[in-house]
Structure 1
Amino acid sequence: MFKAPEFWYHKTGRAAAPALRTALSPLGWLYAKATAKKLADTIPVNVGVPVICVGNATVGGSGKTPVTRYLLESFTRLGIRTVGLSRGYGGREKGPVRVTSKHTYKDVGDEPLLLASAAPVWVAAGRDEGARAAVAGGAQLIVMDDGHQNPLLMKTLSLLVLDAETGFGNGRVFPAGPLREPATAALARADAVILMKPSLDFRPEPDLLHALAGKIVIPAHLKPLQKPPEGKVFAFAGIGRPQKFFDALRRAGADLVDALAFANHKAYAQTDLKNLLDLAGEYKAQLITTEKDYVRLPKGFARHVTCWPVKVEFEDELTLRRILHPVIESMRR
């Protein structure tokens, strides 16, 4: 599993690692060229139902999963048979397979397990095969998690989720930077941008807002579903940007004595878990982690950890619903 290098999020100075960035840039050009060719050469499949894609322009976490869960829950409440579709990153299942209570993160990945609490979820390495299986199973609408650079399915609506703190990073394509493709290319295929802020009062950099000019931008932030536990807490997380989780705990008033960051989608070994218990014990603190990390913990260990769930809150939900309305209307014709 991968931990994003710090230089990805700096444009100038020593922290930007200019020599390393320059050395890696040719690989970034090749990566961008391969992505562009794949997008240009692939004829997307129309599976006969609307497909809403929730994707991003960068490697790592931006807040896609809470947005996907929101959509699954919202359409399901309307009585629409809505299904999530994921590639199941980190899982061994190639699919198509529907996620059940018998699956673990080792089978289907952590994100599909979280989403399956909101609606049925299919996992498939080939998104077209997964979509066909979902439709055969009665799906009226598909919400595809993390598919902005995947051209296999015809998309009815593409939502690009962007971290308001880091934006497009240093503006370079992987591995020279965090981008999966040039920012302009990703924005060109997006119907709207969900700008995920760390808090309601956060103000994005003017340069980022300038880059988003001309696009529909819907600000959002993640809101805790419960208060942090009383007393000292020791946090750990293996997500795209663990620091976001640690900062959120502090903003919520947690007595955070220390924190440990792991690589995204970290598969915790027994030694990791023992070390965490020992470290928390030194502080006489409770262990706390994210929902995504919690589903990757062995059951015997999970009882020692507090899970801190969050949900997405849109600051302009009316605009979002206005964008979604044509999708709903098309299904009623």
Structure 2
Amino acid sequence: MSASQRGDAPFWWYRDTISWQSRLITKTLTPVAAVYGAVATRRLNKPPVYTSKLPVICVGNFTAGGTGKTPLVRAICAHLQTTGHTPVILSRGYGGSIKGQHIVDKDRDIATQVGDEPLLLAQDNAVVVSADRAAGARFIEANESLLKATIIVMDDGLQNPSLRKDVRIAVVDRVRGIGNGRVIPAGPLRAPISDQIYRTDIIVTVTPPDANLTTPRPEIMGQFGIAFAFDTEILAANDTSWLKNENIVAYAGIGAPERFFKMLENYGAQIVDRVAFPDHHTFSETEATALLTRAKNKRATLVTTEKDKVRLKGSVGALAELATASRVIAITATLDVHATTAIAEILKQRFYGDRTDEIIKP
């Protein structure tokens, strides 16, 4: 498998669902997927272990892989701050070594300790990492004097039943949708869609750089009744004018690196080399040296994502050199007034009301 392919999901999940190869693989994996799905459904049906004293908004995915969830979490937190809230993000800290509950220190912590996404989110929000979400919520409440939290925003965890959620938001890629509609490993779903959808209040379709708002929404939007559905776009958050006609070597270890490369091209960059790594990839000295060499030989600028850059924090040697040499294109998600109104309405009815678990209808 080439470097440019390593960031992709299995081809039978999204790109090729009808060829004989895909059908054979899917059929072969169906028994395993059935077991995985049954276990996931049983877990979903468990009652919450803990109900927080604070309102809880959960932003997650129906599927494995990148959908633009992290930019949406940041956008929701930014909006909450404008309304007088002090949000604290609760993350499981995927990829980090720290156990228990920990407040992320954006200046001292590194990605191998707390995970790359928590470290990225901590650039503009308070973040607590805790694999045990219920324990994490209790920790946030217990540290009220330090965190001053008025609301918890869960980064991922739609399928985690331990902490009760007041607003449940699922992020769906506008192009990929739910792929072939199968459960892992036969498809990308983390649990059968029928068991996930009725536990969801809001679906946000994320429009990636290889699509636009005229691209039809995924079929899922019409197959199931959902109270609220909104669109968001993933855009560059910082200046991109310098990219026009600039020769660049682009590299990314995110859920969908090809989307990042497409965005750079949309802004006029001339990509002379692109290198995709697996999501959350820890770079080696050899890889850093190879990227630096490619850029030097091709007289190009190294460009990467914020998430990749935070994983280089605290590095030495070639890795530190790569961090210094790389320019970052930050991304942001739009959040329109209809979406924020829906979130506020659900919070009003569910948290400030009787906190029942019924799905709220518009």
Structure 2 partner of 1:218:
230
Is 2:167 aligned against 1:160?
no
Give 1:205 shift: 5.4
Do 1:38 and 1:151's aligned partners in 2 also have CA atoms closer than 8 Å?
Answer: yes
> Aligned letter for 1:325?
A
Task: State the alpha-carbon separation in 1 of the partners of residues 70 and 256 from structure 2.
Answer: 14
Task: State the alpha-carbon separation in 1 of the partners of residues 259 and 218 from structure 2.
Answer: 21
Task: State the alpha-carbon separation in 2 of the partners of residues 133 and 102 from structure 1.
Answer: 20
Task: State the alpha-carbon separation in 1 of the partners of residues 92 and 114 from structure 2.
Answer: 8
Task: State the alpha-carbon separation in 2 of the partners of residues 133 and 30 from structure 1.
Answer: 34
TM-score where L is the length of structure 1: 0.93
Q: Give the alignment partner of residue 192 of structure 2, picking from 165, 178, 182.
A: 182
Task: State the alpha-carbon separation in 1 of the partners of residues 117 and 142 from structure 2.
Answer: 23
Give 1:42 shift: 3.7
Give 1:300 shift: 3.6
Do 2:309 and 2:323's aligned partners in 1 also have CA atoms closer than 8 Å?
Answer: yes
The count of aligned residue pairs is 330
Three-state SS of the structure 2 residue aligned to 1:41 is coil
CA distance 1:228–1:241, shift in 2 (3 Å): farther
Structure 2 partner of 1:117:
123
Structure 1 partner of 2:267:
252
> Aligned letter for 1:180?
R
Deviation string for 1:161-208 (max 9, x for gaps)? 011111101111111111101222222111010100125444035634
TM-score where L is the length of structure 2: 0.86
Structure 1 partner of 2:322:
301
Task: State the alpha-carbon separation in 2 of the partners of residues 64 and 206 from structure 1.
Answer: 17
Structure 2 portions without partners, runs of 5+: 1-5, 354-362
Summarize the alignment of residues 77-96 of structure 1 with structure 2, pairs less than 5 Å apart.
Answer: 77-96=82-101
Summarize the alignment of residues 123-272 of structure 1 with structure 2, pairs less than 5 Å apart.
Answer: 123-138=129-144, 139-199=149-209, 200-204=212-216, 207-211=219-223, 214-225=226-237, 226-227=239-240, 229-230=242-243, 231-272=246-287
Q: Give the alignment partner of residue 62 of structure 1, picking from 61, 67, 83.
A: 67
Task: State the alpha-carbon separation in 2 of the partners of residues 280 and 217 from structure 1.
Answer: 43
> Aligned letter for 1:307?
V
Give 1:260 shift: 1.0
Q: What is the RMSD computed on CA atoms of the aligned residues?
A: 2.1
Deviation string for 1:239-294 (max 9, x for gaps)? 11111111111111111122111101000001111111112223211111111111
> Aligned letter for 2:292?
L
Three-state SS of the structure 2 residue aligned to 1:6 is coil
Q: Which moved more, 1:141-150 or 1:197-206?
A: 197-206
Give 1:213 shift: 5.1
Task: State the alpha-carbon separation in 2 of the partners of residues 206 and 192 from structure 1.
Answer: 15
